[in-house]
Structure 1
């Protein structure tokens, strides 16, 4: 159980205490004659203010009014201040009348008139309270957005470095160059194509730092080059299938994310199978979402490396870019097939 008073409650207590002290100061400094029931009315007013502003905060948080853009927030600031100031005025005037604490000169006015007079002052204080609350959270949200942007940029750079390392490490280069060398005499045209494919992969790795999102078609072409190179190494042990809805080709996705998923499928799936297997890449629209799926031969036990960079970076990037609008799933779809699925919001141009 937490014994520490939150910052919010410290601000509430200190703010309404200051409100009471200021009115007390003016009462003693400028009064011409004693005012009956002044302190009873003042403490009732301050207590009501604390309670009703807290209710107003609960409404603001409950309906998440902070999520709107600045123009709507200003409108909501005025509306919520007016509604709860009216509530405060109704309750305050009712209590003052119940306990007979009204000033003699105010008794001549009707209930509605007294509420309207109280509302003029109460609305001003509630407007100030709302202004402070909305401004604080607007600044906090701006800071969080900026921090998320910095984290995303840092993650993209880290991903680029990891991807470059995975492609230019001696083992990968050795396999790729050995495969190309073996083709030089028997199939010079395929060797030249393989060199181009390797060049495309390295170039795309270095360019990914500059992009936050990239067209799916671009990322698919990079993966095709990568799989073409891997096919030279695995030969008939690697079978590749594509099921691509052409309408998804222009959809933006995080750069190198698809390749990361395919690399995981090769490393934890195909390379672990004596007879190799199939990698199938699927892209389609489903229920107003863009589904990007990589299926591969293998078992989840050998591929369930949730602490690995590929899975961790995918989850983190999706969270930073899309929040709750994107999902990542890693599942077994049969005894011999594993599926990595990314669900992205559709971007409409």
Structure 2
């Protein structure tokens, strides 16, 4: 829904229809007070010049300057009603702040009413001039009547010229500008909302990348500490740990360096990162950890947001496997599924460790994941955390295959 926008301020450059500095009134919202009096100052003098010309002609004919001034005054009033009458009514209506659709109908009615108001002012000025001419000529004076032609074609021709003239200068073009202005505001609002969403998504990306960068040192220190002892006692295992660590760092560091993060990646890329991380942890923890990653080849190239899945896998190790003695497994399953006729990508991280503890699901990392899902996919992005039926925990991440993020 289009929000109400201020009509007492200048229009943004993206909406203004001013073609030059001369048309300053077009930089204001159509049918605002500032637009109305600026427009009147622009067109009013032109209309008054024609009125003065009529008054001057009468004064010269009647050889009476005062009569010429009075005729000019009457026609000047009629000209100002022509230029500003309908738009004045429309301006008053717009400041009533009615609903959009009703406002549009009332503005059209106001401009049409302005046409009849101008017609009445035109009859008033013509009758005044006619009475003066009758007095000069010494004849009887009947009010001026402008009968409508009895034929349809004649009536159309008779009315089309003043109606067309009024449409151009009396308010019809202003109605077109009003519609264009509303469409411009709607597009500007959509663009600003889109840019705002993109900005918040980038901020969420940055927060997630920073969080991941904060996790990496902890992970590295623990791995290096275990390497120190493995080098002395189990050199082959230490070598395997180094190889796995190098593979993991090559997969992750380019994506989190300097807090930058790619806006999008593929499921295969994210699974490779998780696989390299789990391999490091498997070598480090030995027989305490085994893992599986299951994903159909058909969905490997599907778009998938970066770093989210890795955080879920890290949580499974940190909060599920490490605190619980004994051997454990972490299983990552990816699949495509259909819900209510729509297609989704779902990845589940399951562990058989210690399970969810109170407050774990409200952590900073998971909050950032939820924020990213909301910004990227709205209500279609889902993160669900729960305890497994027998032991451990299950984290499910579901996103639509048709991304809302633009």
Q: Distance in 2 between matches of 1:302 and 1:176?
A: 33
Unaligned runs of 5+ in 2: 12-27, 52-74, 124-145, 149-154
List aligned pairs for 1:76-87, cutoff 5 A.
84=104, 87=105
Q: Aligned to 1:338, which of 393, 399, 402?
A: 393
Deviates more, 1:137-146 or 1:13-22: 137-146
Q: What is aligned with 2:384?
A: 329
Q: What is aligned with 1:8?
A: 6
Q: Distance in 2 between matches of 1:57 and 1:95?
A: 16
List aligned pairs for 1:149-298, cutoff 5 A.
150-151=202-203, 154-155=206-207, 157-169=209-221, 171-179=222-230, 181-184=232-235, 188=236, 190-209=237-256, 211-287=262-338, 288-297=343-352, 298=354
Q: Distance in 2 between matches of 1:299 and 1:52?
A: 57
Unaligned runs of 5+ in 1: 1-5, 59-83
Deviates more, 1:20-29 or 1:329-338: 20-29
Q: Aligned to 1:144, which of 196, 201, 212?
A: 196
List aligned pairs for 1:301-340, cutoff 5 A.
301-302=357-358, 304-308=360-364, 310-334=365-389, 336-340=391-395
Residues 293 and 333 in structure 2, CA contact (< 8 A), matched pair in contact too = yes
**CA-to-aligned-CA distance 1:286-320 (integer Å, 9 cap, x gap):** 12111111112233225724233x31332344345
Q: Distance in 1 between matches of 2:355 and 2:208?
A: 29
**C-alpha displacement at 1:280, in angstroms?**
1.6
Q: Distance in 1 between matches of 2:47 and 2:205?
A: 59
Q: 1:93 to 1:132 in 2, by over 3 A?
A: closer
Q: 1:179 to 1:283 in 2, by over 3 A?
A: farther
Q: 1:302 to 1:197 in 2, by over 3 A?
A: farther
Q: 1:233 to 1:200 in 2, by over 3 A?
A: closer
Task: Report the secondary structure of 2:336's partner residue.
Answer: strand
Q: 1:329 to 1:44 in 2, by over 3 A?
A: same
Q: 1:91 to 1:103 in 2, by over 3 A?
A: same
Who wins on radius of gyration, i.e. which is larger? 2
Q: Distance in 2 between matches of 1:222 and 1:181?
A: 29
Q: Distance in 2 between matches of 1:177 and 1:222?
A: 24
Q: 1:215 to 1:138 in 2, by over 3 A?
A: closer
Task: Report the secondary structure of 2:348's partner residue.
Answer: strand
Q: Distance in 2 between matches of 1:215 and 1:136?
A: 32
Q: Distance in 2 between matches of 1:24 and 1:37?
A: 8
**Structure with the higher fraction of residues in helix conformation:** 1
Q: Distance in 1 between matches of 2:269 and 2:191?
A: 37
Residues 36 and 101 in structure 1, CA contact (< 8 A), matched pair in contact too = no
Residues 325 and 344 in structure 1, CA contact (< 8 A), matched pair in contact too = yes
**CA-to-aligned-CA distance 1:200-246 (integer Å, 9 cap, x gap):** 12222311136333332233233223223323444444342333222
Q: 1:7 to 1:272 in 2, by over 3 A?
A: same
**CA-to-aligned-CA distance 1:152-189 (integer Å, 9 cap, x gap):** 563364245224313322x33212443465432xxx3x
Residues 289 and 328 in structure 2, CA contact (< 8 A), matched pair in contact too = yes
Q: 1:277 to 1:155 in 2, by over 3 A?
A: same
* Equivalent residues, number: 308
TM-score (norm 2): 0.61
Q: What is aligned with 2:19?
A: none
TM-score (norm 1): 0.69
Q: 1:177 to 1:305 in 2, by over 3 A?
A: farther
**C-alpha displacement at 1:17, in angstroms?**
0.7
Q: Distance in 1 between matches of 2:231 and 2:302?
A: 34
Q: Distance in 2 between matches of 1:338 and 1:10?
A: 58
